Amino acid sequence: MAKPDFLTIFLLLLVSNQNFSLAATAQGGEFLISKACRKESKNPDLCKSTLEADPLSKKAENYNSLCRAAMVVFRTCADGYHHAIRDINDGIAGFDMNNFEEASSEIGAVFQSVRECKDTGLTMFQKLNNEIEAFGDVVSNLLEKLVPGPDKY
């Protein structure tokens, strides 16, 4: 029996890959999301709910486009957290210079970053967002005691 040549194998792979891609596209990428989350995630329910909530992920035609969409989803809140860390560091610097108004303002900016993440509707970040807000309230309340106000003179 003759062994299949390279060209035959290549054509079979090309056709099967196109069929897989067409099937995923025909189902709006949800088939691809389900398959990827089932195979690649330790938490498939979270993976699926997060990616299915994202319009770009739902349009994914193959693993490459799904991976790109997933990275964008992940970046959505990560960017906000990066800004929040910068704001916290700026708040600490203000505090260390006894500029409590500046410290309070910078801590207030952290809430904006968290709100932006919450507004995305991505449930995977909600617990962390709620914890950051709760502890941010503690820090804000402590700072409020240090900021001179019109009624504190």
Q: 23-61, pLDDT tens digit by residue? A: 444 455 778 999 999 998 898 898 888 888 888 888 888
Look at residue 34 and tell me if it is in a domain: yes
Look at residue 135 and tell me if it is in a domain: yes
Reported as a pLDDT band with limits 50, 70 and 90, residue 21 is very low
* pTM to 2 decimal places: 0.66
Look at residue 134 and tell me if it is in a domain: yes
Look at residue 15 and tell me if it is in a domain: no
134 vs 140, 143, 147, CA distance in Å? 10, 15, 20
68: containing domain: 28-152
| Residue 52 burial (10 A CB sphere; 0-12, 13-18, 19+) | middle
Look at residue 59 and tell me if it is in a domain: yes
Indicate the number of domains in the chain. 1
Look at residue 16 and tell me if it is in a domain: no
Which amino acid, 33?
Answer: I
State how far Cα 115 lies from the chain centre: 13
